[in-house]
Structure 1
C-alpha cells in the first residue's frame, strides 16, 4: 500500500504507485500522477496536471504544478512533467505551462535541484543538470543535458543554455550560452570552456581539444559568428571523433534566438 501520512490530504483521483511515500501535511491534487519509489516530504503541495516519474525525492515545503506567474493564463489545461530519479530540495517551485508554447513545463531525468529553485512556465530542463540554491528560471528557458547553474543566478525568459555549459555563482543570464562554455558575472562574460566537467564525463583528449578549438573560434580569433560557425563545422572532418560535439554546437548557434553570450 502507498505510505501516506495520516495528516496528508491526497485526492482520491490522484494516481500514486503503491510504493510512493507521502509525508505529513502534504496536499496532492486530483490530476497528479506519481511513479514507483518516489518519496514526497512534509508540507508539500503538488497540484495541477503534474506527472512525476520513478525514484524521485521531493523534499519538504516544495510547490509543484501551481498555475504559472503569467497574467495571460486563464485556467487552460496545461502540464508539468518531471522525469525519473530527480532530487528536488526544499522550497522549490515548478509551474505548469501556458497555451501557445506547448503548454508543458518539463524536467528530465537525474537532475539535482537545490533549495529555493524556481522553474517557471514552459521551461525545458534536460537530464543530469545541477541547479544550485536560488536558481531562478524565467518562462520558456531551455537547459541542455549536464548543465550546471551556480547559486543565486537568474536566467531571462526564452534563454537557452547548451549542454555541458556551466554558469557561475550569482550570474545574470540574458543571452544564450553555447554548449560547453563557462560563463559568469553581471554583465555575463565567457571565461573559458567547462574542461573540468568534460573530464568528469570521460570526454577523450581529442574531444576536449576540439571543444577548446571551438571556444577559440568563437571568442579568441575576432571572427564573426558566421565565420566561426563555418570554421567549427570543418572540425567534424578534421577531428572525426568530435563530430557529435560539433553538431551540437553548430545546431545551437543556428537556432540561438537571443544572441549568444560573448
Structure 2
C-alpha cells in the first residue's frame, strides 16, 4: 500500500494491499477500497463508501457524503462503486438516503469533472457522464448511456440503455 504521508486514512478503513492514496486525501472509518485502485490528491472518501478494483479517482473528488435530502435524519447508508470506474476532478457522489439506502455506480463507468450524482441514484455498467452532468436524487441510468456536458437530470428520471443525451439538454422526464 502506498499512502502519502499527508493523507489521513482511518485505521478502520479497509484498503487492499496495492491501493495508492495521494497527498491530502481523507479516507474515513468503514471505507472499503478494492485492489489496484488509485486515489488522487485531495480526494475525500466518507464513511459508507465501497469502491471496487482498479478504479481511478482524481484530484478533489468527494464520495459518500450524506445526501442533500431534507428528510434524511442520519443512518447507515452507502455508496457502492464497481470495478474499473474512473471518477475525474471535483466530481461529487452522495450516498443513499433512508428511502433506499444506497447509491450505486456500476463497473467501467466514466464520471468526468464536476459531475454530481445525488442520493439513491443507480448507474448501471459502462455509463459515461461528461463534464458537469448533474443527476438529482433517485435517477437511474442504464448501461452504455452517454450524457453530454452540463446536462441536468430531474429526480426519479430513468435514462434508457444506449441513450445519448446531447450537451446542455435538460432532462425532466424519462428517456427510453
C-alpha separation between the residues in 1 aligned to 2:87 and 2:70? 27
Q: Is the 1:17–1:35 contact (alpha carbons within 8 Å) kept by the matching residues of 2?
A: yes
**What displacement does 1:103 show?**
0.8
Corresponding residue for residue 86 of structure 2: 87
C-alpha separation between the residues in 2 aligned to 1:76 and 1:12? 21
**What displacement does 1:80 show?**
0.2
Q: Does residue 136 of structure 1 match 2:134?
A: yes
Q: Please report the TM-score for the alignment, with normalisation by the length of structure 2.
A: 0.99
Corresponding residue for residue 68 of structure 1: 67
RMSD, aligned CA:
0.5
Corresponding residue for residue 125 of structure 1: 123
Unaligned runs of 5+ in 1: 179-262
Runs of 4+ more than 3 Å apart: none
Q: Please report the TM-score for the alignment, with normalisation by the length of structure 1.
A: 0.67
**What displacement does 1:31 show?**
1.1
* Aligned partner (choices 138, 144, 148) of residue 146 of structure 1: 144
Q: Cα deviations across residues 155-182 of structure 1 (Å, max 9, x unaligned)?
A: 000000110000001010011001xxxx
* Aligned partner (choices 166, 169, 174) of residue 167 of structure 2: 169
Structure number with higher strand proportion: 2
Unaligned runs of 5+ in 2: none
C-alpha separation between the residues in 2 aligned to 1:142 and 1:97? 13
Structure number with higher helix proportion: 1
Higher-Rg member (1/2): 1
Q: Cα deviations across residues 54-98 of structure 1 (Å, max 9, x unaligned)?
A: 000000000000011111111111000000000100000000101
**What displacement does 1:135 show?**
0.3
C-alpha separation between the residues in 1 aligned to 2:111 and 2:24? 22
Q: Is the 1:48–1:96 contact (alpha carbons within 8 Å) kept by the matching residues of 2?
A: no
Q: Does residue 24 of structure 1 match 2:13?
A: no
Ranked by relative contact order (alpha carbons within 8 Å, sequence separation 6 or more), the top structure is: 2
